[in-house]
Structure 1
Amino acid sequence: MSEAMRRLRIGVALAAAIAALAAGTEARADAQAALDRQAIGAIVREYLIENPEVIEEAMRALRANRDAARQQVVRRVIERNRDALFSHPMTPVSGDSRGDVTLVEFFDYQCGYCKRALGPMKELLAGDPKLRVAWKEFPILGPASRFAARAALAAARQGRYLDFHLAVMGARGNPTESSVVAIAEDLGLDVERLRRDMADPAIEAYLDETNRLARDLGITGTPAFVIGDTLVPGAVGIARLRQLIADVRAGG
């Protein structure tokens, strides 16, 4: 307990004790109790005005408690959906397919922060031979995002997911249907087969399933990462990702 909070509790206790001693007879108890509450309220108000850092400390504690409660909920959701998160047969995987740690990224091809995360993700894959990355297509920014996600999953059927993903995510500007098809052509993909696979209802169903999974996890934006039993929303630097990976390894 901080010194400021300790002083506040002592002050309130003293005020209550003084008020109790001053209560007098039982006939005056109710009226005196009202006065006591007013006196205590005045003391607390004066104390908080003189020590505003106590309010800041209380707010920090409240936020920490809420964050901890939220993480507990997330851990339960991750545990219930472990297979869908880490080993879904339609989720593209890069790195070591039998890696000791799996890092899951939810992303959208039109997301600027996801584009910024591309460099760190490539660096992690290049520098950590035991890392496994699961790419969760999470197109939430419009039809162009959905089109690109379907194309990426279709490219995976030709064994070219990572090449396609890096090309679309690394392209300047937001993807369009024509730019996505052009990237497929540049990579030498069978575009006619790509279009047929993109129309497969299984791909649409998988994207819908991923959207539901993200909703259950409380993911409302991109990027978002899941590693171990931890959800990390938003763009984070490579140092943070490396620390999370190390923490999972240390925990066995």
Structure 2
Amino acid sequence: MMRQFIAPVLAGALALPAAAMDLKALTDEERALFRAEVRAYLMDNPEVIMQAVELLQNREAEAQEIADLTLVSDNAGDIFDDGFSYVGGNPDGDITLVEFLDYRCGYCKRAHDEVAKLLETDGNIRLIVKEFPILGEQSVIASRFAVATKQVAGDESYKAVNDALMAFNGDVTLPALRRLASTFGLDADAIEARMDSDEVTAEIAATRALAQKLSITGTPTFVMHDEMLRGYLPYDQMKAIVDEKRG
């Protein structure tokens, strides 16, 4: 008799706060019977568990999206206009895409081509690159080299080095970076001397501090307009989000 009531009771319990269903109001015998019937129902209908998990995941995702909107709004100045991060694409674009990246990150390397395709096919995207080395000492060396290149030789040289480091698959060492600088006709001595400067350290530290405020713990992480996008996204997905932002 009780089993026919388990489905609606269980569905109601899942929809209510935990405190709303008080098993303490039942007698020991009623509580044991209820638990046995719930277990039997779940064994007969295991899809209910998956539905509950999906409901929980959807609620958590919605809560994360709301929290991210607030984080982006509260830190908009540092995200979109910090005064030092590389700005590419169309500087006057109607959509700004910000990427936190690490040169040793495999997904960042995959995303690099997707972002390049987006910029190529859509001439109205403003790109901001945030150097966020989190995968060890070689990541730090690569980012210091990239930032030093920007400070010494300018944005065009930074873009060339950024592309090259994303395509590079060997160990990141100073000799390898010096050869890379020479490939682009850059002053390797000046860049190497700049790498450990206070200016380079301050730029990377500022990006780390911003990432901490935004609860960013992995790369790539994107901010597009008012939305945070955590993880790798293929071109089609990025394009769909751009179209959605434009309305």
TM-score, normalised relative to structure 2: 0.84
Q: Is the 1:92–1:153 contact (alpha carbons within 8 Å) kept by the matching residues of 2?
A: no
Following the alignment from structure 2 to structure 1, what is the Cα–Cα distance between the partners of residues 171 and 219? 15
Say if 2:75 is the partner of 1:81: yes
Following the alignment from structure 1 to structure 2, what is the Cα–Cα distance between the partners of residues 205 and 133? 21
Q: Between the two proteins, what is the percent identity of the paired residues?
A: 34
Say if 2:140 is the partner of 1:143: no
* Runs of 4 or more above 4 Å deviation: 10-13
Q: Is the 1:154–1:197 contact (alpha carbons within 8 Å) kept by the matching residues of 2?
A: yes
CA RMSD of aligned residues (A): 2.3
Instruction: Summarize the Cα distance change of 1:63–1:249 in structure 2 as closer, same or farther, 3 Å threshold.
Output: same
Q: Offset at 1:140?
A: 0.9
Q: Offset at 1:64?
A: 1.3
Q: Is the 1:109–1:139 contact (alpha carbons within 8 Å) kept by the matching residues of 2?
A: yes
Say if 2:2 is the partner of 1:8: no
Following the alignment from structure 1 to structure 2, what is the Cα–Cα distance between the partners of residues 72 and 174? 40
Among 186, 191, 194, the alignment partner of 2:188 is 191
Q: Offset at 1:199?
A: 3.2
Show the counterpart of 2:163: 166
Say if 2:30 is the partner of 1:36: yes
SS across alignment from 1:105: strand
Q: Is the 1:100–1:130 contact (alpha carbons within 8 Å) kept by the matching residues of 2?
A: yes
Instruction: Summarize the Cα distance change of 1:12–1:73 in structure 2 as closer, same or farther, 3 Å threshold.
Output: closer
Among 214, 231, 234, the alignment partner of 2:231 is 234
Taking the TM superposition and a 5 Å limit, the aligned residue runs for 1:1-252 are 8-9=7-8, 33-157=27-151, 158-159=153-154, 160-250=157-247
Following the alignment from structure 1 to structure 2, what is the Cα–Cα distance between the partners of residues 229 and 43? 47
SS across alignment from 1:133: strand
For residues 91-119 of structure 1, give each alpha carbon's deviation from its aligned partner in whole angstroms, at most 9, with x where no partner exists: 10111111111111111111122112221
Q: Is the 1:224–1:234 contact (alpha carbons within 8 Å) kept by the matching residues of 2?
A: yes
Instruction: Summarize the Cα distance change of 1:46–1:194 in structure 2 as closer, same or farther, 3 Å threshold.
Output: same
SS across alignment from 2:100: strand
Q: Which amino acid aligns with 2:209?
A: R
Q: Offset at 1:197?
A: 3.0
SS across alignment from 1:122: helix
For residues 181-237 of structure 1, give each alpha carbon's deviation from its aligned partner in whole angstroms, at most 9, with x where no partner exists: 211111111223323432331221221121122223222221111112322222221
Instruction: Summarize the Cα distance change of 1:183–1:41 in structure 2 as closer, same or farther, 3 Å threshold.
Output: same
Larger Cα-atom Rg = 1
Q: Offset at 1:12?
A: 8.7
Instruction: Summarize the Cα distance change of 1:31–1:244 in structure 2 as closer, same or farther, 3 Å threshold.
Output: closer
Instruction: Summarize the Cα distance change of 1:43–1:190 in structure 2 as closer, same or farther, 3 Å threshold.
Output: same
For residues 37-90 of structure 1, give each alpha carbon's deviation from its aligned partner in whole angstroms, at most 9, with x where no partner exists: 233222222211111111110011111111221222222211111111111111
Q: Which amino acid aligns with 1:163?
A: A
Worse-superposed segment, 47-56 or 33-42: 33-42
Q: Is the 1:109–1:148 contact (alpha carbons within 8 Å) kept by the matching residues of 2?
A: yes
Show the counterpart of 1:16: none
Show the counterpart of 2:19: none
Q: Which amino acid aligns with 2:52?
A: A
